[in-house]
Structure 1
Amino acid sequence: MSGMDVASATVTLRVNRFAPRPERERAARSGSPFGRKSSPFGSSSASARRRPRGKQWTQDYVLHVRPETTVLECLLTVKRTMDPTLAFRYSCGHGMCGSDAVSINGTPTLLCTATVGEWAKHAPAAASIDDEGFRHTGSPETIDSSSSDSNIANAHGDNAADLGVIELAPLPGFPVQRDLIADIDPMLNQITKLAPYLKADGVLATTDEGKINVFEYLQRPEQLAKYEMLSNCIACGVCEGSCPVFAGGDAFIGPAALIAVSRFVNDSRDTATAERLDMIDTADGVAACQSVRACSRHCPRGIDVGEEMWQIVARVRER
C-alpha cells in the first residue's frame, strides 16, 4: 500500500440538489376577463425575483481523499468521474474571486478554502441499549465504541477509515438557480446602485509651473489604512448569507453594499461622502441593520464586517 493510500480516507459529500422546473409561457385569452389582470403583488420585475420551483433532493457522494483536500477539489472529482450533472460555480479556485460561496454544514464559506479535514463531521453515535431495554446516555465509556466511535477516534490518524460527512447547500438568502448555484444578482445590483467608484471634484491640480500635479491624490499611510482592508472585499456574498436580516436585497440593502459604501466614505480622495451617506440613510439601509454581527464570522478576506457596519451606522446617525 502506498503512502497516499495510508494517509487518505473516505468522506461523504451530502449535496442539497435542485433542478428548476421549466417555465411555461401562457398566452392570455382575449375572451377571458381575467387574462390580462395585473398582479396585486407587484410588477413582472418583482415576480421574476420569486424563488424558482423545481425538484429538490439530497444526494450523497463517497470519495477517497486526503484531509487537506479542499471541498472544491472533491466536487470537481465528482463532476469529472461520478456525476457530470452536478452544478456548482467556481473560477480562480484560490479564494480571490468569491464565486464559489456556498453553505457548508450550515455555514456560508468558500469551497476553495474549506478543507475536508476541517469541515467533515460525524453523526452522534447511537446510545447503546442493554438487555432490559434501557438506553445508556452517560459517559462515552458506557456507549459501544466498536461502531462509528472507532472511526471518530481514527479520523485524525494516518489510518483513518472515515472522515465523516460534509453537508453542502447553496448560499442562504439568495434564490437558487441549480444545485449549489445561487443567484447573487440582487447583491450585485445593490452594490451597483451605490456607485462603488471614486468620485473626485473634477478639478485637475497643477503645479506652480502650470504642469499637471502627479501627486494630486497622494495619501499618507494612515489615510490609506482607513479603507485598505475594505478594498479587499470580493463580493462573495458570505456576509449576506450569514446575515439573518438580509433577504435577497429587498428588506435590507445588505452588508456587502454597505461595505462598498464605507470603502469610499473612508477614502480621503473621495468628495461624495454626504451623497453616499444620504443613499444609505433609508429604511432598508443602515436603519435595517440589527447589529447581530453574524456577517463577520467567516469573511474570506479577513474583514471585520460587523465592526465596519457599526462604524458606518454611527457615522450616519452622528452627522
Structure 2
Amino acid sequence: MSGMENGMETVTLRVNRFTPRPERGRERGGSPFARKSSPFGDSGSARRRPRGKQWVQDYVVPARPEDTVLDCLLKVKRTIDPTLAFRYSCGHGMCGSDAVSINGTPTLLCTATVKAWAKQPSDAQVDEDGFRHTGEDVQPAQTQDADDLGVIELAPLPGFPVQRDLIADIDQMLGQIRKLKPYLQASGELATTADGKINAFEYLQNPQQLSKYELLSNCIACGTCEGSCPVYAGGEAFIGPAALIAASRFINDSRDGQTDARMDAIDSADGIAACQSVRACTRECPRGIDVGEEIWQLIAQIKER
C-alpha cells in the first residue's frame, strides 16, 4: 500500500474470522437438558454454537495513533479484503451496533483508538518446545519497527452466537428487552384541573425524579455488558443486564404506572435471582452506567416490597 511505502505508521489487526456452514435440512435443537420454560427465551437452540470455518487473519494497515479501530477496519474493507464482515452505523458511539471484543474486552469499535488498544509483542522468547523464557538467558528480541504501532486482536462479542466474522447475533438480547415492555405505561386516566380542564402538567417531574432514571435512558443496547457477564455467557436463560437496565429505567420513572408488574416480570429464577453480583457488566459500559450497582438496587427494591 502507498501509505506503508511512504513510511507511515502501521497497525496489525489480528481478526478472528468465521464463515458459517450452509444449513442443510431441518435445524437441530439445543441440549435436551436445557431449560425450556424460561419466559426470557430458550437457552438451547438460541445459543447453540454455529458451525463453519474459523481462522485468524492478520491485516497490516496504515494508521495514526488517534485513528479508531473502526477507521482501520474500514480501510481493510475498502482496500484489502472486501469479504471482511463487521457491523457499524453511526460511528460515534451513539448506536451501539459495532460492539466487539478488542484484546479480549467487549467495547465499541468506533470509540476504541489505536493508541489505547495496540499492544507490542512480548519481549519474552518461546523455544521450540513451547516454553517461554524470561530469565537472564533470554537473547535480545528483534528490534521493533519504529513505524509499527502494534497488534490489535479482534473477535466477535462474547456471549452471543456468531453470524459471520465480527458480527454477533444479538437478536436474543433485543427480544429479552422487548419482553419487558421498554416503554412508558401510564395509568391512562386523563388528569384534569379543579375547574375540569385538561391538566397540561400531568407528567411534570422535578429534578430529583428525573435524576433517578436519566442516566439509564442513555443505554444504547450495545451488548458490552452482556458480553462481559459470566452468567449470561454461561448459556443459561438469564435475562441479562441489558434487559434489567431497561426495566430499571421505567421502574424508577415516576410517570410509569406499572412498577409492580415490571418487578414481577424480573422476579424469577432466570431474572434478577440469576445475577451473581460479579459486576463485570459495569466495567466497559460506553455510556457510563454503573450496571452492577443498578442491578443491585433492583435486587434491594424487590426484597423490600
Which amino acid letter does the alignment assign opposite residue 147 of structure 1?
Answer: Q
In structure 2, the residue matched to 1:176 is: 162
Residue type matched to 2:171 in 1?
A: D
CA distance, structure 2, for counterparts of residue 283 and residue 200 of structure 1 = 28
Note the C-alpha offset of 1:126: 2.8
Residue 154 of structure 1 is matched in structure 2 by: none
Unaligned runs of 5+ in 2: 37-41, 128-132
2:213–2:249: 8 Å Cα contact kept in structure 1? Answer: yes
Look up the SS of the partner of 2:176 in the other structure.
helix
Which residue, out of 243, 258, 261, partners 2:247? Answer: 261
Q: Summarize the Cα distance change of 1:54–1:127 in structure 2 as closer, same or farther, 3 Å threshold.
A: closer
- 2:10 counterpart residue number: 10
1:252 matched to 2:238 = yes
Counterparts in 2 of 1:117 and 1:145: CA distance versus 1, 3 Å: farther
CA distance in 2, matches of 1:103, 1:128: 26
**C-alpha displacement of 1:213:** 1.1
CA distance in 2, matches of 1:48, 1:268: 35
Deviates more, 1:242-251 or 1:105-114: 242-251
| Counterpart Cα distance in 1 of 2:119 and 2:111 | 17
Aligned equivalents of 2:199, 2:277: Cα separation in 1: 43
SS of residue matched to 1:205: coil
| Aligned-partner Cα distance in 1 for 2:85–2:233 | 23
CA contact (8 A) 1:190 1:249 kept: no
Q: Residue 243 of structure 1 aligns with which residue?
A: 229
Q: Show the counterpart of 2:39.
A: none
Change (3 A) 1:21 1:225: same
Partner of residue 23, structure 1: 23
Shift in Å at residue 249 of structure 1?
Answer: 7.3
TM-score, length basis structure 1? 0.84
- Deviation, 1:248, is 8.0
| 8 A Cα contact 1:100 1:111, kept in partner | yes
**AA aligned opposite 1:311:** Q
Residue of structure 2 in register with 1:50 after alignment: 48
- Aligned AA for 2:218? N
Distance of 2:46 and 2:207 partners within structure 1: 46
Aligned position for 1:73: 71
User: What CA RMSD, in Å, does the superposition of the two structures yield over aligned residues?
Assistant: 2.4
Please tell me the residue identity of whatever aligns with 1:23.
E
1:275 to 261, 271, 290: 261
Does 2:145 correspond to 1:147?
no
Task: Please state whether the residue corresponding to 2:75 is helix, strand or coil.
Answer: helix
SS in 2 for 1:22: coil
Using the TM superposition, give the Cα deviation of residue 47 of structure 1 relative to its aligned residue in structure 2, in angstroms: 3.2
Task: Work out the number of aligned pairs and report it.
Answer: 286
Distance in 2 (CA, whole Å) between partners of 1:276 and 1:210 is 32
Alignment-mate amino acid for residue 291 of structure 2: V
Partner amino acid for 1:207? T
Change (3 A) 1:92 1:165: same
User: Quick check: which has more Rg, 1 or 2?
Assistant: 1
The 5 Å alignment of 1:1-319 reads 8-25=8-25, 40=32, 46-47=44-45, 49-127=47-125, 137=135, 147-148=142-143, 150-151=144-145, 160-247=146-233, 250-319=236-305
CA apart distance, 1:76: 0.5
Check 1:279–1:239 CA distance in 2 against 1; reply closer, same or farther (3 A cut).
same
Whole-angstrom CA distance in 2 between matches of 1:302 and 1:245: 21
The answer for unaligned runs of 5 or more in structure 1 is 28-38, 130-134, 152-159
- The code of the aligned residue for 2:93 comes to G
| Structure 1 counterpart of 2:181, one-letter code | A
1:40 Cα offset (Å): 4.9
SS at match of 1:95: coil
Q: Which SS does the other structure have where 2:213 is aligned?
A: helix
Change beyond 3 A, Cα 1:95–1:83 = same
- Aligned pair in 2 of structure 1 residues 49, 291: CA closer, same or farther (>3 Å)? closer
Partner SS state of residue 239, structure 1: helix
Q: 1:48 to 1:314 in 2, by over 3 A?
A: closer
The amino acid of 1:25's aligned partner reads: G
Identity of aligned residues (%): 73
Q: Is the 8 A contact 2:107 2:286 kept in 1?
A: yes
Alpha-carbon distance in 2 for matches of 1:121, 1:128 = 18
Give, as a single letter, the amino acid of the residue that structure 2 aligns with 1:175: P
